[in-house]
Chains A and B, each alone.
Chain A
Amino acid sequence: MTDFLLELRSEEIPARMQVKAKEDLASLFNDALAKAGLAAASVETFATPRRLALIATGLPLATDAVSEETKGPKVGAPPQAMEGFLRKAGLTQDQLIERDGVYFAVVEKAGRQTADVLAEAIPAIIRAFPWPKSQRWGAGSASTESLRWVRPLQGIVAILGDDVVPCEIEAIVSGTATMGHRFHHSGPVNIGNAGDYAEKLRDAHVLVHFSERCALIRDGAKAAAAAAGLTLVEDEGLVVENAGLTEWPVPMLGRFDPAFLEVPQEVIQLTARVNQKYFVCHDSAGKLANAFVCTANIDAHDGGAAIVAGNEKVLAARLSDAKFFWEQDLKVALDDQAAKLAQITFHEKLGSVADKVERVARLARWLVEEGIVGPCSPAQAGAQPANNDSSDKVLDPGLRRGTQELADQAERAARLCKADLVTGMVGEFPELQGLMGGYYARAQGETDAVADAVRDHYKPVGQGDDVPTAPVTVAVSLADKLDTLAQFFAAGMPPTGSKDPFALRRAAIGFLSLLLQNDLRGSFKDMLLATGAATSFDSLEEFLVDRLKVQQREAGVRHDLIDAVFSLGGEDDLVRLLARVNALQTYITTAEGANLLAAYKRAANILKAADGVDAAAPTPADLVAEERALLTALDTAAPNAAAAVDAEDFEGAMAALASLRAPIDAFFDGVMVNDADPAKRAFRLGLLARFRDAVHRVADFSRIEG
């Protein structure tokens, strides 16, 4: 047994690619071993900006000899078949083995030296490496077929035990020499074997363990903040990124002018993190402090003073840019910014962003005026669902005034919600859309409700994001998503397969979350029609129900039960739909529910086999007890179930169905449906049809699996 070291040294590998590259190296290497019939006891990988490496332990020195058997023709097969087989195998017939009337070719393969296997595998791994982007370089690149790597490949260290595994790829010859830190070490570092790799490089100011560098940055940054009496705002993404940018990480604290703290703190944090890869800090009161932590790649001989001074200057320049944008943007009213949205295309087929804003404003108002979004949501008020036809008549004047006010606010917020797209700040930091609009709206004296709505109307961004609950925000956010969904579907641009360029799946999840978490009542089909994008939305309705199933799966709601309720056709209030589904799921998972389902399926099968079922078939005079009992039960249960559904008492509806369970079981036990007497048969089929119809008041049980 022996150990193997492979190091592929290159010019700086992008930080974001290093973690994945480690995994890819391990899997390519393991595959190559497995193909040769080898396996390592352990495989560990390393990545720094300038190297990707691997250490495999416990490798055998050679592969085992194997005998490979290939099945050939049957005894007595035509001679051509035999000739072909012998030619392929390179054998004569007397060398074949015969077993059970079939010839086999047996080839003894001698074991191979592991070093030979590796010498062959290394160039293959390099050529097959799945970098997200790769390049050609140097004189060899006169051919487009030349080697590609993430950045120019500089050297290969390949050592099995204490010996070099000789291999070569495009004039790069394997050896024992690597390079240390770019600035702290000059000349080659000679590696003896896998065991001294990490230590030799540590001596040359390179920490090859990714996790060690991460820990150093994580702890060092915290300590640097603490030493200044501050608390680091932890950011694991930054830890990993800085570990990918350094071979010898040294976190250091710097300061910036507190005057910049006037700028919204999200802006400061973003420019520090995204542009400069700095951590930010909080003061003892939990507010953003005028300090940052950068991670250098050297132990500077002045202790880092010049580096900190340089970084402070760069951040100051960036923050003064941000402050400039902030101050400039504050000088322009959001209404004036919104006017510029006419110049920005939303989509070439769907007009400008100004057009979209107009649609969203109208829709947000409609959602309020229809009572779908109320001054306080039903979830908060515990109110009964509004019956839309009569809601206007029963609204008291105060509530009506509240509705008008809310509609005005929703429309106002919608008109401002995209205005920040043309501000300088969002032009510079697109990820601050919404957030900046909120700041600018508040600064120009909009109400908190409007400013919050402008800020939060993109939410929820995908599953797991906060779902807005403030009524104005809900109205604008819902209208924005509805419009996007309806417009793209109406224009024939739904998501296809893995392609969803307009993020419509995310919009759908946002739409559903807003409805469900706020208990917003109303027909989602009517909401789609209110967008005015089309006169029917069959494929979008289907898409939304599919998304609902995906979304509810996480909550443990069965998709077949959603189908069972939805396929009845009448239910387009998604809040009510889910309430029905939940009640159904509770019932159907009880033993009683399972029995009822079984009885239903039995009834459905009999009905399917029968031709001509009449639920109103005349009642024969001589009913057996089981028939009479079922008839009586149905007379009560069917209207009870229907009434309970209408009253949204879904447990009551289940109870009504449950009252059928004993009679239907008794009926199947005691009665033969397909009686010789056609009148009896017709009546009994009619009873089953009535039973099925009663069940269908609640859900289409034929859609339920199991």
Chain B
Amino acid sequence: MSDIAPLSFQDLILTLHDYWGKQGCAILQPYDMEMGAGTFHTATTLRALGPDPWNAAFVQPSRRPTDGRYGENPNRLGAYYQYQVILKPSPPDLQELYLGSLKAIGIDPLLHDIRFVEDDWESPTLGAWGLGWEVWCDGMEVTQFTYFQQMGGFDCKPVSGELTYGLERLAMYIQNKDSIFDLAYNNATADRPAITYGDVFRENERQMSTYHFEVADTDMLFDAFKKATAECENCLERSLPIPAYEQAIKASHIFNILQARGVISVQERASYMGRVRDLAKGSCQAWMEKNGWTA
């Protein structure tokens, strides 16, 4: 890459924080709930609605129970980290800003082939869609780049630009590693070698895969799904969109575990997703109403 040592996983995050902080983003913390992607964070979902400008960046731990591989697959994880940037309205030089961030983490665009390849984004569970690209670096998708058009079924007015970096992939690229688990998590010191991503997370992957695929109590989960949906509706009746939305996030994650357990048939799948979408849309609608915004 360059003469200087490649960034460790944690320095990659710190560098992005520094870069986007300087662009005027509020550097937020992860949302403290299990969710499938950074887009679920209220800083993205709810803030993408309404007219107010909003610029934020944060890391979001993302849980994908079905992608778990017991820590055996060098490219797949049941839990990983997304770096999210949301800029509203989307600035005219968003692509340039993004490319600036790649340079900041050590990717030289005259040495590496950076490409914007069509990839339209849709989240059926959030009732959201947008147009954009997956950004390729030498053929590897490193970022999802989206102009949100709708969220929770509502037109985005104005449109936000959303960047989602796959941190592990970027780090593998920068550090030239073939396995996620071999990534340097921090930096070596004089008397201590760097710890690896595997040192930190491999056991989590093993245990969580076992839990999601083999152990999770499905009766309890079906019950929890029902309770979360009921609680969401309860909150909506009291015009509390944020707690309502948290219950939607909860229901979505429970659904994902049930999927991993293989107990949701294809027929049922669509109806569960529709259920979660209704909760998310209801929460977005309540959020619009609470703020006095019209569709």
CB distance from A350 to the nearest CB of B (A): 12
Q: Are B75 and A317 within 8 A (Cβ)? A: yes
Scan residues 112-162 of chain B and give those whose CB is less than 8 A from a CB of chain A: 112-118, 120, 130-133, 137-140, 147, 149, 155-159, 161
From A135, A152, A182, A306, give the contact of B149 (CB < 8 A). Answer: A135
Contacts of A12 in B (CB 8 A): 116-118, 133
Q: Is the CB of A183 within 8 A of B158?
A: no
- Complex Cα spacing A353 to B70, Å: 31
B138–A311 CB distance below 8 A: yes
User: Which of the listed residues B95, B113, B116, B161 has the most CB atoms from chain A within 10 Å of its own CB?
Assistant: B113
The interface residues of chain A lying within 8 Å CB-to-CB of B140 are 310, 313-314
* A348 to B138 alpha-carbon distance, docked (Å): 44
Contact between chains at B120 and A343 (CB < 8 Å): no
Tell me if A133 and B131 are in contact (CB < 8 A): yes
State which of A137-145, A187-195, A217-225, A469-477 sits at the interface with chain B: A137-145
How many angstroms from the CA of A187 to the CA of B92 in the assembled complex? 16
Q: Nearest residue in B to A250 (C-beta to C-beta)?
A: B113
The smallest beta-carbon distance between A343 and chain B, in angstroms, is 5
Q: A142-B89, A306-B111 are in contact. Are A135 and B158 (CB under 8 A)?
A: no
Assembly CA distance A140 to B92 (angstroms): 11
Contact A298 B178 (CB under 8 A): no
| Nearest-Cβ distance from residue B94 to partner chain A, whole angstroms | 8
B159 touches A307 (CB 8 A): no
Contact of A151 with B158 in the complex, beta carbons under 8 Å: no
B31 proximal to A (CB < 8 A): no
CB distance from B159 to the nearest CB of A (A): 4
- Chain B nearest CB from A430 CB (Å) reads 14
Partner of A310, one of B112, B116, B117, B159: B112
Assess whether A686 is interfacial by the CB under 8 Å rule. no
Inter-chain contact A298/B92, CB cutoff 8 Å: no
Chain B residues near A16: list those with CB within 8 A. Answer: 118
Which residue of B89, B132, B137, B267 is within 8 Å of A141 (Cβ)?
A: B89
Of the candidates B74, B90, B109, B118, the one whose C-beta lies within 8 Å of that of A183 is: B109
Residue A320 CB within 8 A of the other chain: yes
- Is the beta-carbon distance between B159 and A141 smaller than 8 angstroms? yes
Residues of B within 8 A of A344 (CB): 266
The answer to whether A183 touches B89, judged by C-beta atoms less than 8 angstroms apart, is no
Q: Let me know if A11 is at the binding interface, CB within 8 A.
A: yes
Within 8 A of A (CB), among B62-117: 73-75, 89-92, 95, 99, 109-117
Decide if A296 touches B116 in the complex (CB within 8 Å).
no
Nearest chain B residue, comparing its CB with the CB of A344: B266
CA distance A49 to B120 in the complex (A): 16
The residue that A314 contacts in the complex, of B89, B120, B139, B161, with Cβ under 8 A, is B139
Decide: A135 and B112 in contact? CB cutoff 8 A: no
Q: When each residue 288-304 of chain A gets 1 if its CB lies under 8 Å from chain B and 0 otherwise, what string results?
A: 00000010111011100
The answer on a CB contact under 8 Å between A152 and B147 is yes
Taking CB atoms, residues of chain A closer than 8 Å to B138 are: 306-307, 309-311, 313-314
Q: Which of A138, A245, A315 contacts B117 (CB 8 A)?
A: A245
Residues of A within 8 A of B114 (CB): 182-183, 297
Report the Cα distance A319→B23, complex, angstroms: 39
Q: A294 to B161, alpha carbons, bound, how many Å? A: 30
How large, as a class, is the contact surface on chain A? 35 or more
- The CA of A348 and the CA of B161, in the complex, are separated in Å by 39
Question: How many chain B residues touch A (Cβ–Cβ < 8 Å)?
Answer: 43
Q: A144-B157, A152-B92, A314-B139 are in contact. Are A300 and B113 (CB under 8 A)?
A: yes
The reply on B173 being an interface residue by CB < 8 A is yes
Q: Contacts of A144 on B, CB cut-off 8 Å?
A: 155, 157
| Shortest beta-carbon distance from B266 to chain A in Å | 5
Contact of B24 with A by CB under 8 A: no
Chain B residues, Cβ within 8 Å of A138? 89-92, 158-159
Most buried by B among A141, A142, A143, A321: A141
**Known contacts A16-B118, A141-B89, A276-B139; A302/B111 CB under 8 A:** yes
Name the one of B73, B92, B178 contacting A324, with C-beta atoms under 8 angstroms: B73
Set A136, A311, A345: member contacting B159, Cβ < 8 A:
A136
B51 lies within 8 A of chain A by Cβ: yes
User: In the complex, what distance in Å separates the CA atom of A336 from the CA atom of B89?
Assistant: 53
Q: Does B265 contact A (CB under 8 A)?
A: yes
The answer to whether A300 and B115 touch (CB under 8 A), given A135-B131, A294-B139, A315-B139, is no
- How many angstroms from the CA of A135 to the CA of B148 in the assembled complex? 9
Residues of A within 8 A of B147 (CB): 135-137, 151-152
Encode contact with B along A348-387: 1 for CB under 8 Å, 0 otherwise.
1000000000000000000000000000000000000000
Bound-state Cα–Cα, A135 to B112, Å: 29
B1-14 vs A, Cβ < 8 Å mask (1 yes, 0 no): 10000000000000
Given A11-B95, A136-B159, also A297-B115 (CB < 8 A): yes
B131 contacts A297, C-beta separation under 8 Å: no
Structural contact, A151 and B131, CB atoms closer than 8 A: yes
Give the distance in Å from the alpha carbon of A423 to the alpha carbon of B56 in the complex. Answer: 42
Which residues in A have their C-beta under 8 angstroms from that of B158?
136, 138-142
Given contacts A16-B118, A135-B147, whether A307 and B113 have CB atoms under 8 Å apart is yes
In chain A, positions 124-174 with a C-beta closer than 8 Å to chain B are: 133-144, 150-152, 154
Interface centre among A49, A136, A150, A344 (most CB of B within 10 A): A136
B178: chain A residues within 8 A (beta carbon): 313, 316
A184 contacts B by Cβ under 8 Å? yes
**Would A311 and B110 be within 8 Å (CB), given that A138-B89, A139-B158, A141-B159 are in contact?**
no
Chain A positions within 8 Å of B117 at CB level: 12, 15, 245
B131:A307 contact, CB within 8 angstroms: no
Instruction: Knowing A133-B120, A343-B265 are in contact, say whether A298-B157 is a contact too (CB < 8 A).
Output: no
Contact at A345–B267, with CB atoms within 8 Å? yes
Contacts of A317 in B (CB 8 A): 74-75
Task: Give the residues in chain B near A183, CB-CB below 8 Å.
Answer: 109-110, 114
A14 CB within 8 Å of chain B: yes
Which A residues touch B265, using CB under 8 A? 343, 345
> When A12-B116, A307-B113 are in contact, do A139 and B266 touch as well, CB less than 8 Å?
no
Give the docked Cα–Cα distance between A184 and B156 (Å). 35
Q: How far is the CA of A245 from the CA of B156 in the complex (A)?
A: 29
Q: How far, in Å, is B131 (CB) from chain A's closest CB?
A: 4
| Contact partners of B161 in chain A: CB under 8 A | 137
Q: Digitize A179-205: 1 where CB-to-B-CB distance is under 8 Å, 0 elsewhere.
A: 000111000000000000000000000
Which chain A positions have C-beta within 8 A of B113? Answer: 296-298, 300, 307, 310
B51 adjacent to A310 (CB under 8 Å) = no
5 A-B contact pairs sorted by A residue (CB < 8 Å) = A135-B149, A143-B157, A151-B132, A310-B173, A311-B139
Further 9 A-B residue pairs, CB within 8 A, beyond A151-B131, A311-B138, A311-B139:
A11-B95, A12-B117, A15-B117, A16-B118, A137-B159, A142-B89, A297-B113, A313-B178, A317-B74
Q: List the 9 shortest-distance A-B pairs measured between CB atoms, nearest first.
A: A310-B138, A14-B118, A12-B116, A141-B159, A311-B139, A141-B158, A296-B113, A135-B131, A314-B139
